[in-house]
Amino acid sequence: VIGRKFLTKDFDHLLNFFLIQYTLILAKLRVSDKFEDLLVITHGYDYTIPSGDRNPFKSIIRAIEQNGQWIHYPLKDKGITDPEHQRSIVAAMIDGFNELLIRLAEYKDQQGIYLFPRHIHIDYRGFVAEEEWLDELHPNSKGFSRVAQRMMDCIEEYYGQ
């Protein structure tokens, strides 16, 4: 909740833009006879941990890829240096995006029929453990393995395998 107060109307406009884009893509797939059995999976990020830690002993990737460039330093440049505020801003953004995709996956017409029945959303929020982050944006091998397995389980469940 604290993080939401930091977000501007520009973020809401961005979410609306995403909603329009996803809706257009899903609508085109729905009316196409080429993709009758195509499963569309959307997902959002888990709650990333803003960090400027570039310690090469933790991960050479953190040093090479300049950990912090995506979230930590842009927030710091805006004067947001409190780690809890940074995390709460990221959480508010991730919540907004995930909730948009969930609403889209659950959208029904007036007769109660799913508008996009082959679209499902995998919610990864809270899924990657704190020790499974490689850097501030990407899970490490163990974290990605669990993310991929969850995706595979979803695909296998949909296609009945």
Checking if the pLDDT of 1 tops 80, the result is no
Query: What integer pLDDT is reported at residue 11 of this predicted model?
Result: 96
Burial, 86: exposed, middle or buried (Cβ in 10 Å; 0-12, 13-18, 19+)?
Answer: buried
Amino acid at 48: T
Query: What integer pLDDT is reported at residue 37 of this predicted model?
Result: 83
What does the alpha-carbon distance between residue 62 and residue 81 come to, in Å, rounded to a whole number?
20
DSSP 8-state code for residue 134: S
Nearest to 93, CA basis, from 154, 50, 146, 151? 50
Query: What integer pLDDT is reported at residue 156 of this predicted model?
Result: 94
Q: What is the pLDDT of residues 110-121, one digit of tens each?
A: 898 888 888 999
Amino acid at 102: I
The residue among 31 and 47 whose pLDDT is bigger is: 47
Q: What is the pLDDT of residues 124-156, one digit of tens each?
A: 999 999 999 888 888 989 999 999 999 999 999
Residues in the chain: 161
Task: Give residue for tokens 């993080």.
Answer: 3
Average pLDDT, the chain: 89
Query: What integer pLDDT is reported at residue 56 of this predicted model?
Result: 62
Q: What is the pLDDT of residues 56-103, one digit of tens each?
A: 666 666 666 766 677 888 899 999 999 999 999 999 999 999 999 999
